[in-house]
Structure 1
């Protein structure tokens, strides 16, 4: 495909709307329509039923965008900017992809990609459609919404024939052909409403927002606004750029909030409108508007220009928006409100979303337009929740802004969870799989879990209070629910689609709820299995991996013995990890679960050799020993290995005091630092060569260490500990290494840190002597293969991987059990664990922070039932959900509506681009030839042209053919039930 996108004829557009609404009650994929309450707000001599709508941008470019936004609750439409450069000329200047909204937003598109006449037609089409749909579908008052033009970027272009014709056509559509065409089509579709349709107002818009490019001189801005007010008699907003705050304010604000990686220099700040020029100009424009009986205000804000430095988008510069823009925009809003005594009208964008919209509205700031938030999963459906939240507040005509409330909003934004960047950026949420053409829904959390835990299902069981069944389902794959419910690294949560909404579902905590509340029922249900003849397993090491392996084998009836050198099972979690992280009682419950299956446990002595074990009849031997051997820090001084030091402190054999420095930045380092702090150390410092964001420890563990008073010494490499001081060389960050982390570079400068003891939490290893003395071969890192060179001998967990997470050890244990048993474990998921597609869809677009852990199922998006992120996040509705006869749903990509913005790619859980990789519907043969996508072109009747792999082929659907059966079902369904997509 190409980025060529073209408008849908009005008849086809309305056929789509009425057919979809008749079939499923939806319009352009909006699952729940907003029906106006009767409240409204006056603006521009008109009224709006809600103070919300899409900002000028990708969500207000096409008629279907605007209709979708209206159905979801939008009533103020800042239609996309037009300028003298348009169509192909503009498209050539916009690289693809051009939108990146997976966290804070970035874009490289600024004006409509249509020609200006096409843009006008789209807005008139949307205007006419909304007038009728609002009435016939009882969505609201046909006069309860407003269209606001956006024009740029210089007076010459605005006064030129192209843009001038656009403005005049929007002010009076009677002179346009499309207005008459729309009314004729609407009267055919809704003959009972003919009189109403005849009376549709041709005044599509009586207001305008002035959009100026960065660097536009103040006198040019004033000339444009003055012309639009005095000559065109338009209510006028002037869009302000955040650069008006000044470089130092912007840089300091973003740095303090974790956005130090966003790169920009001073040139835009120096070239853009300055505060000293802006204030008197706005005063003059307000006076001019007052004299003309028109409304004047400021639109806050334009997007913020930043450099492309990490390959985010294909250009040297891009425009930042969303949550990182909010603190800049709200501070600009505060200064303007203060300067004008609250009398200046302010239209707000710049990071507006569900969590701040009520505060903005309560401070007298409206209309509120959004872009980045509705480019995320949930899409336009997010508008409804915003509308419902604000609808509870009083609706009053504009009487001023509350400067103190805005000041408080600005101050609070600097520490607000929804605007501050996390200490560590989340890793990629994509899997390594390619998206299939069919049945592409999947739960990213499950894919991110090394044991592929049935997370949506057990979360749903917990939501229903079925704790016993939930724990039973968990333990089908995970025999350590207390350990993993407490200290699991929870990689699943970094994959959770909720991260695109607010915060991850608390999967780990939900598991612990199931474990605590379902344990007794599970234990009572366990019965000894029948013994398997001819197999006997020995497990060397009684840590998490060994316990898990014994559980799996015991459950299957395989005679199993654990050999543990310590006096009790539990490994590092029991003997090393501090009790404030996990209690021995919790660990013992996991051990008891394993022992319930009759596993023999031998503690307090070294394990027999491989030869001795085989002589004792053991057919399978697993080395599951932990990484107890300290890594070498390689500096002189008083240095202790973290694992052995923590073990000694926990056992009460080591006292702690003075100043402690922990070298390393993984979870073990965090544990060691917190243990030192809680055990009596005066000061505890974590020393790391890179910055905090590159630390391998989990975000949660970093936060806990900070909360305990641990200090972080970033960009420091230890050199020597001596005389109560740790000397470190200062580092700086250089180029990124293969892992994506920026490599530390020595500066030759040094810093001294008070330190009586260095704890080395780097490079813990397994003692490979135990393996090699039994004939097991190891690699250069001292690690064996899973299936070692010695017959019947295996390695798992730390022994195989080096320091591993508990759940990685469980995955290895399951692999070993499958090797012993000869088949994977099978089980059934309880019927109560499943959720209907309707229930899953009802959660889309609903933002909700975590509260009651047992209620996290209310937040789980149930991605294994319905994903549809690509459909939600496409502003143009180019990814369409197709309902199949069997009740399943498939995604069809509609080529003619796609401009390759790339937004859907960010939210697809697969390593794929839906706009390129999903099965595609083509409108014309030329479109198909211009694309590499797999897809279909309908040729009429039963004839189709289909590309699967290679060149397209023609097929006759009335007879036998070699199309895949399920793909043919999709094609036939589209032809028979969704013909409006290609009409």
Structure 2
């Protein structure tokens, strides 16, 4: 513990943002990270609790008090060593993780928590700047071959850990670039893709082979999943050519809204809208890109994906942006005695909301309204009704019907399960939500019902956070290593 009284002497310092008028002009990151002195002060606020709830609140179990103390003492080199011991990609989580560790911070009982996420961000950015992040190729090769299907955070984490254990690892990705939803779902203004690219270079130096534009199995007819597959590899080919297979695809089946008018032009899934803009930023040409320029945009869904649609629409130059949420508006302050150290229920306002957005809660969409004349076949509005929640039952409020103008409607209501065809191609048992059935406990950890096939990340647990994907990728890598070698020195 660097400074015993630090938590009493210093206030929390938040990372700063570039001004709204400046940042909405482009897609560059706009967060201004802590400088070395600010990070040191934040590290000094850590109480070094006897029971560090932040550690258990973090899905990858980052050793937070240790790297806080090291930053306070100015030992940044060891700080990145500690951080990397549990997290392969802190530049991802330091930017886009909601930081459940901070909700669990003991200071959060009656004060502002330590800025753990901002410290993590500062550590990894300095580590890259100083050249401390280097390839770690295995000293001894095992001769075992492992296929990782899906290159999102779970797949990248599994691949890196397995390569460092000495296995020959090939990552298969259906899109033209590596990164999964990190690449195509997270807007560049939240995380620029150069962070993925330099990790790819590191992993290639460690022996990982990336094969893009390769679809494993097949897509269902009429699928809207964004992909640039030029080659199809069957499940049988993978099983014949590799000693183990790890399925780490995302939960890409978007939750739909089957109300009248759903098939009108101008009503799209968020994951039709967001990947197109990311491709344009990357320099790709996208024919018929969905644009919000000058349009009245309504985003249905109040989570992170909806917030990303809001930020992207504002950068397009939307005439207005409105976001609907089915649930009632949460309180501005959580009930800390009731919720700590768990993730609290409270109103969260993102940087995208601050850029311009009307937010409406407890509202249900009843119908999409079709235009006439030149707008025939296009959405020009939608009809809603206010709802009340009586326990788990939703009841419409009489007389609360309303019609809204809308030229573009984006459905951002979450994701239900992985694309079923890849699981069906391998003949894998699914749980009642359509995910790959695989436990995380015991000798069968992360194993599916099919021999030598494992599943991790959203493919196994359903829609979740990037930090959970990294955790599952790491743990699945250990399970695969044990399956191939009988034992493993990889951390769990």
TM-score grouping bracket, smaller chain normalisation: 0.7 to 0.9
1:125-524 pair list within 5 angstroms: 441-519=50-128, 523=132
Say which SS state the counterpart of residue 254 (structure 2) adopts.
coil
- What pairs up with 1:73-112 in 2 under 5 angstroms? none
Of Structure 1 and Structure 2, the greater helix share is in 1
Cα deviations by residue, 1:740-763 (Å, 9 ceiling, x for unpaired): xxx542113312222122211113
Partner of 1:648 in structure 2? 276
> For 1:813 and 1:780, how far apart are their aligned partners in 2?
22
Q: Distance in 2 between matches of 1:472 and 1:591?
A: 19
Q: Could you tell me whether the CA contact under 8 Å between 1:461 and 1:470 is conserved in 2? A: yes
CA–CA distance in structure 2, aligned partners of residues 447 and 479 of structure 1: 18
Residues 1:535 and 1:700: Cα distance change in structure 2 (over 3 Å) = farther
Q: Name the counterpart of 2:257.
A: 633
The match for 2:454 among 789, 794, 803 is 794
Change (3 A) 1:451 1:693: same
1:711 to 358, 375, 400: 358
Equivalent residue for 1:721?
Answer: 368
Is the CA contact 2:330–2:347 (under 8 Å) kept in the aligned structure 1?
Answer: no
Deviation at 1:441, TM superposition (A): 2.4
| Alignment RMSD (CA, Å) | 2.8
1:734 and 2:351 aligned: no
Cα distance in 2, alignment partners of residues 755 and 673 from structure 1? 14
Which of residues 163, 168, 185 in structure 2 aligns to 1:554? 163
CA distance in 2, matches of 1:534, 1:619: 10
Q: Is the 8 A contact 1:483 1:590 kept in 2?
A: no
* 1:800 positional shift: 1.0
Matched position secondary structure for 2:366: strand
Q: In structure 2, how many angstroms separate the alpha carbons of the residues matched to 1:575 and 1:790? A: 30
Rounded to whole Å, the distance in 1 between the matches of 2:158 and 2:462 is 18
Give the aligned partner of residue 674 of structure 1.
311
Match of 1:756 among 399, 407, 411: 407
> What residue in structure 2 maps to residue 897 of structure 1?
none
Say yes or no: does 1:746 pair with 2:396: yes
2:305 matches 1:661: no
Q: Distance in 1 between matches of 2:347 and 2:330?
A: 12
Aligned equivalents of 1:495 and 1:674: distance in 2? 28
SS in 1 for 2:290: coil
Contact (CA 8 Å) 2:94, 2:121: kept in 1 or not?
yes
Could you say if the C-alpha distance between residues 754 and 524 of structure 1 is closer, same or farther in structure 2, counting changes exceeding 3 Å? closer
Q: State the shift of 1:700 in Å.
A: 8.8
CA 1:691/1:825 → structure 2, altered by over 3 Å: closer, same or farther? farther
Aligned to 2:23: none
1:779 paired residue number: 431
Say if 1:776 and 1:784, in contact at 8 Å, map to a contact too: yes
Aligned to 1:563: 172
Instruction: Give the direction of change, closer, same or farther, for the CA distance of 1:697–1:647 in structure 2 (3 Å limit).
Output: farther
Residue 463 of structure 1, CA deviation: 2.3
**Partner-residue secondary structure (3-state), 2:349:** helix
SS of alignment partner, residue 577 of structure 1: coil
Say whether 1:620 aligns with 2:249.
no
TM-score (norm 2): 0.73
Give the number of the structure whose alpha-carbon radius of gyration is greater. 1
Does the CA-based 8 Å contact 2:161-2:474 persist in structure 1?
yes
What CA distance in whole angstroms lies between the structure 1 residues aligned with 2:245 and 2:120?
31
Separation of aligned partners in 1, 2:89 and 2:347: 21
- TM superposition shift of 1:686: 0.9
Greater CA deviation, 657-666 or 467-476?
467-476
Gaps of at least 5 residues in structure 1 are 1-30, 33-377, 387-439, 738-742, 828-983
* Contact kept? 2:329, 2:347, Cα under 8 Å: no
If asked which structure has higher relative contact order (CA below 8 Å, sep 6+), I would say: 2
Residue of structure 2 equivalent to 1:40: none
Shift of the 592–491 alpha-carbon distance from structure 1 to 2, 3 Å rule, reads: farther
How has the CA–CA distance of structure 1 residues 601 and 525 changed in structure 2, closer, same or farther, with 3 Å as cutoff? Answer: closer
Partner of 2:330: 693
Say which SS state the counterpart of residue 350 (structure 2) adopts.
helix
User: Quick check: 1:769 aligned with 2:421?
Assistant: yes
CA deviations 1:132-155 (Å, max 9, x no partner) are xxxxxxxxxxxxxxxxxxxxxxxx
> Partner of 1:592 in structure 2?
201
Deviations 1:439-486 (A, max 9, x none): x92111110111111111112222233223222221222111111110
| 1:20-66 superposed Cα distances (whole Å, 9 cap, x missing partner) | xxxxxxxxxxx99xxxxxxxxxxxxxxxxxxxxxxxxxxxxxxxxxx
Query: Paired residue for 1:533?
Result: 142
TM-score after normalising by structure 1: 0.38
Partner secondary structure for residue 606 of structure 1: strand
* Structure 1 residue 605: Cα displacement: 1.9
User: SS of 1:773's equivalent?
Assistant: helix
Q: CA deviation at 1:779?
A: 2.2
Checking the alignment, whether the CA contact within 8 Å between 2:249 and 2:459 is kept in structure 1 is yes
In 1, distance between residues paired with 2:389 and 2:314? 29
**How far apart are the structure 2 equivalents of 1:644 and 1:459?**
40
- Judging changes above 3 Å, is the alpha-carbon distance between structure 1 residues 592 and 443 closer, same or farther for their aligned structure 2 residues? farther
Look up the match of 2:186: 577
Question: Where does structure 1 differ by over 3 angstroms across 4 or more consecutive aligned residues?
Answer: 520-527, 694-701, 823-827
1: CA distance between counterparts of 2:489 and 2:124? 21
Aligned residue number for residue 36 of structure 2: none
SS in structure 1 at match of 2:252:
coil
Distance in 2, Cα, partners of 1:524 & 1:496: 28
Q: 1:674 to 1:692 in 2, by over 3 A?
A: farther
Q: Hey, what's the Cα distance between the residues in 2 that align with 1:697 and 1:634?
A: 31
Tell whether the 8 Å contact from 1:537 to 1:558 is kept in structure 2 after alignment. yes
What is the SS of the residue equivalent to 2:188? coil
Contact persistence 2:60–2:467 (CA under 8 A) = yes
Residue 555 of structure 1 contacts residue 597 of structure 1 at CA under 8 Å; is this kept in 2? yes
Tell me, in whole angstroms, the C-alpha distance in 2 between the residues paired with 1:457 and 1:592.
29
| 1:327-356 CA-partner distances (Å, limit 9, x unpaired) | xxxxxxxxxxxxxxxxxxxxxxxxxxxxxx
Q: Does the CA contact (< 8 Å) of 1:783 and 1:799 recur in 2?
A: yes
Structure 2 counterpart SS, 1:702: coil
Which residue in the other structure is 1:609 paired with?
234
Deviations 1:851-907 (A, max 9, x none): xxxxxxxxxxxxxxxxxxxxxxxxxxxxxxxxxxxxxxxxxxxxxxxxxxxxxxxxx
Q: Return the offset for 1:622.
A: 0.9
- Where do 1:4-15 residues align within 5 Å? none
2:454 counterpart SS class: strand
Alpha-carbon contact 1:719-1:727 (below 8 Å) kept: yes
The Cα of 1:489 is off from its aligned counterpart by 2.3
